[in-house]
Every structure is written in C-alpha cells, then in structure tokens.
A = this chain, B = another copy of it.
Amino acid sequence: MSRKLILISNDDGVHAPGLHRLIETVAPLADVIAVAPAEPHSGQSSAMTVNAPLRINTHPDMAGAKVYSVTGTPVDCIKVAMHHIVPRRPDLILAGINHGSNAGVNIIYSGTMGAALEGCIQGISSIGFSLLHHSMEADFTECLPIIKSMVKTTLATPLPHDVCLNVNFPAKVKIEGVKFVRAARSHWTEEYQTYTDPHGKQFYWLTGGLINEEPEATDTDLYWLHRNYATVVPSTPSQNVPAAIAPLSALYK
C-alpha cells in the first residue's frame, strides 16, 4: 500500500509562515504536496479564475514536501493541483495555517475555507486551520500538536461525505482545550475609511468589526475562542435549507 498523500494550500500565499509550519508538522505523517497561491488572497472565498490563464511555479522542497505556487485563488490551487500536479488522489486536503480568524461568519469570505470546501466538494476529507492573529510573525507553536493529532485521526477515519472542518486557534495564550461547536451567527459592520486622491476624487478602504449576534451561546466558536479554547466547526459546502422549501413554495404560488 502506498503512503497516504496530503495536499496543502492556503490563502496567504506560498511564502506565508503559517503554510510552512503546517507542511513541517504533517510531513512525518504522509507524502505532502503544497500548492499555494503565488500572492496573498485573503477574503477570496470560493472565487475561481474563469477569464484568465494560470501559471504553475515550482519552489524548493520543504521538509521533504514538493512546493508549487499557482497564479490564482485558493480554489484555483486545489483545482489545478488535482488536475495537473498530484500523482494520485489525495487522502486529505489541508488549508492554512491562516494568519487570522475564520470563525463565525468569516467562513463565507475565507479563501482558506474556500480551499477546504473545494476539497469537500471533490469528496476528499478536508480541514482548514486558522490562528486568530494577522501578523506574519504570529507564533503557531501551541497549534501544532493539536493539528498533528487531528490529521492522524482524519487519515485513519475519513470525514463524512459533505462535511469538512473549520478549525480556529486563539492567539498568544495557552490553549485550554478543543471544542466541537457551530459557527456563531455574526456579521461585519461595514465601515469604509474615506480618502481623497491627489486629483480630488474620493476612494474607500474596507474596515469595520465583527459583531457576534449571540455572544452568550455556549455552543458556538466565537464563545469558546474568546475563552482561549480552539474550536472545530463541522462545515458543509451545501447551502440548501430543506425545511424552507414547502412553506415558500406555498407562499409564492
């Protein structure tokens, strides 16, 4: 039997330390191939490149893993990797470690989770990892044993069909434990900082804050991250709402 194969991507790009720590952590467990965006692609969700060509670049091996970059989004990386790079079907797809939170509503905007959801759509067990710290100097040490343990378990027992995992780690603290929860209902307050260019024309830059709409809900990721626990949210690419079909069908008759 051949060794298990792990495909890794991210959204912070091929040079991000979070990607390198993830490669080093899982390289002892399986064959590893990393295919990451050539440039950072935060906030890219499940975007893919349909109206432009893509290039594949090769990079030096890392901890025995082959490393490539693709001039596109995280989803492009998974698609190109599956079609052109991997020598056999991967047993596991990992994304991250993201520099920044993908908890609460952030999953829908996240390029990291875009890659994991794409793996899930393709029927492969997939996990996205994120640390609640944006800096390129973030310290991932506390996350790594948890990641290694979760990857071992998933290589032994694949995830259910249509389910991937969204894992978030608190930053700069001793992690108290791991909680399996749901994503908290939340939204961003849109705020745009307004600037005036040298020609007198205005332009706008997104800022704003995440509002947790249910801060007391003990079964949510935002609740436990706030209390220094890592959180695991089973997540699905399906956006169906079966219970709404019959009543809405009646309403719109």
Contacts and interface: CB of A to CB of B under 8 A. Distances in A.
Contacts of A122: 187
Nearest to A246: B180
Interface residues on A, range: 35 or more
Looking at chain A's contact residues, the main secondary structure is mixed
Contact of A107 (B114, B178, B239): B239
Interface in A51-84: 51-56, 73, 75-76, 79-80, 82-84
A191 B153 CA distance: 32
Nearest to A157: B251
Question: Which of A43, A187, A246, A251: most chain B Cβ within 10 A?
Answer: A43
Given A105-B237, A108-B237, A238-B239, 20 more contacts: A43-B49, A45-B47, A45-B75, A47-B47, A47-B109, A52-B205, A54-B206, A55-B201, A56-B204, A79-B190, A80-B192, A107-B239, A153-B251, A162-B185, A163-B248, A178-B252, A180-B245, A182-B240, A234-B241, A239-B239
